[in-house]
Structure 1
Amino acid sequence: MPALLAAPSHAAQTVPPPPPVTSTVPAIKPAPMPLPVLTPVQADQLRTLLAANAMAQGLRSTPPLAAAPLAGDALVRAALDQARAVHAGRLAPSDFDKNWGMIPPPYDPLPAFADAVRRDRLAAWIASLPPPYAGYDGLVKGLATYRAIAAAGGWAKLDPGPDLTLGATGPRVLALRQRLAVEDSAVVTTGDSFDAELLADVQRAQRRYGLNPQGVVSNQTLAALNVPAEDRVRQIMANLERWRWLPQELPRDRIQVNIAAALMTVFDGDTPVLSMRAVTGRPGHETPMLSSTIHSVVINPPWNVPTSIATNELWPKERKSPGYLKRNGFVVNGTSLQQAAGNQSALGRFKFDFDNPYSVYLHDTPSRAKFASFDRLASHGCVRLEKPADLANLLLRGDPVWTPDAVAAAVARGKTIRVSARPVQVYLLYWTAFASANGQMNFRGDPYGWDRTLAAKIEARSAHQITLQLEDVL
């Protein structure tokens, strides 16, 4: 037996060393960073910058009331409050709805602010705070435009009446022209006849509102045109807030789903390289906001039916029409249901998996009719894609095995196959206001009521953070 493993003899037992001494003195936390001291000139400059920035970034809907200006530490803390609001939003983690899975990480603006004071670069510091995205910048410009429209009186409400379309005449047509011209400088504001030029004007407006661009002004188009300018301002402000929840640097290759508009876009930087219609969750079955990474493509996926859908929808159909489940490819596995892969599968031929606590994913569907609709909020929360094979081929591009022909052949064989894909970040986002490449604002409805909810949460939070509102600063 090796000496190091031999048991010690009773005649010569060794005394074990004493246990290590552990200190009971608590670790000393580093002292908090002191607030920088502003010169009088810097204090004046900072007050001016904060006032302009609060309005430009949509932190305020109206200019602040005249009040005694803050100075010293109070002014510095107000600047730090605004920096957090512009950089990471105004909500605390506890304020986020369970479906808003985009909570930004904590942000401490003090080190950068202190450096800006030391180097006398306050303007550059303020400019560095907003999200560095073209989509955010477009909303900032749109906010200024719609604030100016609201300040000038907004637009007159259009009266209800018969549908207006090509050939219509009368004072309602003139009022329509004047209403459209407020948002579209190409519209001629004189004339009471609905001609071909006005038809094109109406179609442009309908596209901006996500409506069917038929050129017929019916109740749905009237409702969109009659939303007050002040409400559009608040809508833009809500979407600016959501942009602040995103990381400061988005991956160059990424997939974005606009839940409210039911559109999916693949980006290379700020350039869209693939776009398609989607079907997102209907109210009551909301598609959550989240970010994750697509890690695999499932070809010919079976559908493991969620318990709620099985209980509320499928079992009642089976009771009403015995044999319904078998006819539609469902198999009972204990207490759960699974629909076999194939033409009947609710997931179609492709499923795109990414980890998330909501159990949602992107997928194909055999039900194609909804993609032709302009109201595409109809799923249970997952995102159905109009052209899933195109996305699969894009994600697998460069893989020598999974060429488009190989993918098509695998689909035809019908066997379920999971293919590891090049990891691509995916973002499910709720944009009800966004700017086109030409700067034109686009609006959608607020189907989940999240704009209203967000505004209420911000107001409640701001009631406890008076310095954030800058009433006492300026």
Structure 2
Amino acid sequence: MTLFSASAGTKFAFKRNAFLGKISALAIGLAASATIAGSASAQTALQSLQSNRQNLEWADSFDIATDNITEVKSFAPTLSPETADHIAIAINRYQRIVQLGGWGAVTPGGKTLRIGKKDPRVVELRRRLMGSGDLEQQAGLSDTFDSYVDAALRRFQLRHGLIPDGVMGEETVKALNVPADVRLRQLETNLVRVRAMSGNLGDRYVMVNIPAAEIEAVENGRVRSRHTAVVGKIDRQTPILNSKIYELNFNPTWTVPVSIIRKDLIPKMKEDPEYLAKNKIRIFNWRGNEEISWQQIDWNTEEATNYRFTQDPGQENSLGSVRINFHNKHQVYLHDTPSKTLFGEGYRFHSSGCVRVQNVRELVTWLLQSTTPDWDRTKVDSVIRSGAREDVKLKRSIPLYMAYVTAWANADGVVHFRDDIYNRDDIYGVDTQASLQ
């Protein structure tokens, strides 16, 4: 079963053919540093990419100047039956870029560059952005950081999961200087991963892309909402899995996992004996029928792992206002968080394996509306406001895919890349061990 109608498939096929035609025409006679730019394709790609980010939560964290960016809503999911085809087209494009010598580098170090600045490195930046199709050739090779360079750099930053501030800082230069052949191998690796996700994903599903730290709620082949996420640290990785969401816990308590007791609670209690009280965490025996005081525990040992630590509902609760449960052996879940400032960071790998969800009430309402129709946003807000614990089982479970996709493309030819945060890509060949199962 496909996620798009026949008419939608025809539309995508038309766009794909049109895009390839533009690429073929532009490739002839272009210099190595200015390949495959085309104003029409670049503009279409920019519109789609910008609208993806602006759809819901992006505007919550950043005020992006959009004078040079036309916003067109895009609802295409990262994972769909067409994604592999889009990646294959991107591979052909990047093979041509590599064959023509790749793109130039930007000299690292030096002062931070932004709109209005004049600097010899702006010429390097222009060549680099032209090489990947983010800047039109007719913008020229001036050493002035003008509005064209600003819009092109923001586009590049969006495609690479960076904060789109239009500033050429250290992280942006690092991404700019990844060679084209490395990006090509990244696309090839992810083509294998996406093809392994063949089959029926379902009419309604949730997809967590771990390296992108992003969540999509997909319905009938269209993204209903996108959510910025915070996922697992490098040493506490969010697992790759397929499962089903079956239950929501409003105003939940939090039972601290043993691994977090060992790695976090014990060290924090050594630093501050009032830590548990400040965070409303109580100690019980594992049966839960006897409360223990913190003074009864030797914090210089791992004795604390023999007890159950429970955090009361409230503003300090690590799960926030709601927890989203799905079947898995890793004891992880999706949840709200009191630490909402983390959603505004470019680097969002801070959790112990669970996935924190920005705009979680939007996702929860969507999960409930088709499976448990007596719930709507007003009721969700009311239950959370009450502070009372309430568990709701979905009348029909929703498929969940927690995937690891570091490179993908959409129907407009926009190619996205993310850092291989967990070191699962094999840029020297196709990493079949890291393929999605």
1:452 to partner: Cα distance: 2.7
Taking structure 1 as reference, are residues 369 and 149 closer, same or farther at Cα in structure 2, changes over 3 Å only? Answer: same
Is the 1:134–1:270 Cα contact (8 Å) retained in structure 2? no
Q: Which residue of 2 aligns with 1:265?
A: 216
Q: Which residue of 1 aligns with 2:117?
A: 168
Q: Which residue of 2 aligns with 1:462?
A: none
Question: Of 315, 324, 339, which residue of structure 2 is paired with 1:352?
Answer: 324
| SS of residue paired to 1:396 | helix
1:436 to partner: Cα distance: 3.6
1:393 to partner: Cα distance: 1.0
Question: Of 109, 127, 138, which residue of structure 1 is paired with 2:86?
Answer: 138
**Percent of aligned pairs with the same amino acid:** 34
Q: Which residue of 2 aligns with 1:118?
A: none
Taking structure 1 as reference, are residues 381 and 243 closer, same or farther at Cα in structure 2, changes over 3 Å only? Answer: same
User: Structure 1, residues 131-161: CA drift from partner, whole Å, max 9, x if none?
Assistant: 9722211111111111110111101222122
Matches within 5 A, 1:103-252: 133-160=81-108, 161-184=110-133, 186-187=135-136, 188-252=139-203
1:209 to partner: Cα distance: 1.1
| SS of residue paired to 2:425 | helix
Is the 1:261–1:444 Cα contact (8 Å) retained in structure 2? yes
| SS of residue paired to 2:426 | helix
Question: Of 402, 407, 422, which residue of structure 1 is paired with 2:380?
Answer: 407
Taking structure 1 as reference, are residues 208 and 185 closer, same or farther at Cα in structure 2, changes over 3 Å only? Answer: closer
Which stretches in structure 1 are left out of the alignment for 5+ residues?
1-130, 460-474
Taking structure 1 as reference, are residues 170 and 316 closer, same or farther at Cα in structure 2, changes over 3 Å only? Answer: closer
1:171 to partner: Cα distance: 3.0
1:403 to partner: Cα distance: 2.9
Q: Which residue of 2 aligns with 1:299?
A: 250
Letter paired with 2:83: G
1:355 to partner: Cα distance: 0.5
1:250 to partner: Cα distance: 1.2
User: Structure 1, residues 20-65: CA drift from partner, whole Å, max 9, x if none?
Assistant: xxxxxxxxxxxxxxxxxxxxxxxxxxxxxxxxxxxxxxxxxxxxxx
Q: Which residue of 1 aligns with 2:13?
A: none
Query: In structure 2, how many angstroms separate the alpha carbons of the residues matched to 1:204 and 1:262?
Result: 18
Is the 1:282–1:378 Cα contact (8 Å) retained in structure 2? yes
Taking structure 1 as reference, are residues 264 and 230 closer, same or farther at Cα in structure 2, changes over 3 Å only? Answer: same
Q: Which residue of 1 aligns with 2:267?
A: 316
Query: In structure 1, how many angstroms separate the alpha carbons of the residues matched to 2:118 and 2:172?
Result: 18
Taking structure 1 as reference, are residues 183 and 358 closer, same or farther at Cα in structure 2, changes over 3 Å only? Answer: same
Is the 1:352–1:363 Cα contact (8 Å) retained in structure 2? yes
Is the 2:192–2:432 Cα contact (8 Å) retained in structure 1? no
Q: Which residue of 1 aligns with 2:277?
A: 326
Which stretches in structure 2 are left out of the alignment for 5+ residues?
1-78, 286-306
Q: Which residue of 2 aligns with 1:468?
A: none
Query: In structure 2, how many angstroms separate the alpha carbons of the residues matched to 1:454 and 1:414?
Result: 52
Structure 1 runs, 4 residues or longer, greater than 4 Å off: 453-459
Is the 2:244–2:398 Cα contact (8 Å) retained in structure 1? yes
Letter paired with 1:320: E
Taking structure 1 as reference, are residues 225 and 305 closer, same or farther at Cα in structure 2, changes over 3 Å only? Answer: same
Q: Which residue of 2 aligns with 1:372?
A: 344
Is the 1:132–1:248 Cα contact (8 Å) retained in structure 2? no
Letter paired with 2:118: T
Q: Which residue of 1 aligns with 2:401?
A: 427
Query: In structure 1, how many angstroms separate the alpha carbons of the residues matched to 2:81 and 2:249?
Result: 32
Is the 2:234–2:422 Cα contact (8 Å) retained in structure 1? yes
Query: In structure 2, how many angstroms separate the alpha carbons of the residues matched to 1:181 and 1:454?
Result: 26
Does 1:450 find its partner at 2:424?
yes
Work out the number of aligned pairs and report it.
331
1:178 to partner: Cα distance: 1.0
Q: Higher mean Cα deviation, 395-404 or 197-206?
A: 395-404
Query: In structure 2, how many angstroms separate the alpha carbons of the residues matched to 1:191 and 1:230?
Result: 27
1:458 to partner: Cα distance: 4.5
Q: Please provide the CA RMSD for this pair.
A: 2.2
| SS of residue paired to 1:405 | helix
Query: In structure 2, how many angstroms separate the alpha carbons of the residues matched to 1:132 and 1:379?
Result: 28
Query: In structure 2, how many angstroms separate the alpha carbons of the residues matched to 1:231 and 1:146?
Result: 10
Letter paired with 1:327: K
Query: In structure 1, how many angstroms separate the alpha carbons of the residues matched to 2:271 and 2:170?
Result: 38
Is the 2:122–2:143 Cα contact (8 Å) retained in structure 1? yes
Question: Of 265, 276, 279, which residue of structure 1 is paired with 2:230?
Answer: 279
Is the 1:181–1:189 Cα contact (8 Å) retained in structure 2? no
Q: Which residue of 2 aligns with 1:253?
A: 204
| SS of residue paired to 2:166 | coil
Taking structure 1 as reference, are residues 450 and 217 closer, same or farther at Cα in structure 2, changes over 3 Å only? Answer: same
Taking structure 1 as reference, are residues 458 and 352 closer, same or farther at Cα in structure 2, changes over 3 Å only? Answer: closer
Letter paired with 2:421: P
User: Structure 1, residues 349-401: CA drift from partner, whole Å, max 9, x if none?
Assistant: 11111101111110000111001112111111100000111111111115353
For the pair shown, the structure with the greater C-alpha radius of gyration is 1
Q: Which residue of 1 aligns with 2:294?
A: none
1:200 to partner: Cα distance: 1.0
Taking structure 1 as reference, are residues 185 and 412 closer, same or farther at Cα in structure 2, changes over 3 Å only? Answer: closer
Query: In structure 2, how many angstroms separate the alpha carbons of the residues matched to 1:135 and 1:295?
Result: 27
Query: In structure 1, how many angstroms separate the alpha carbons of the residues matched to 2:80 and 2:387?
Result: 45
| SS of residue paired to 1:397 | helix
1:240 to partner: Cα distance: 1.0
Q: Which residue of 2 aligns with 1:63?
A: none
Is the 1:238–1:454 Cα contact (8 Å) retained in structure 2? no
| SS of residue paired to 2:92 | helix
Taking structure 1 as reference, are residues 454 and 285 closer, same or farther at Cα in structure 2, changes over 3 Å only? Answer: farther
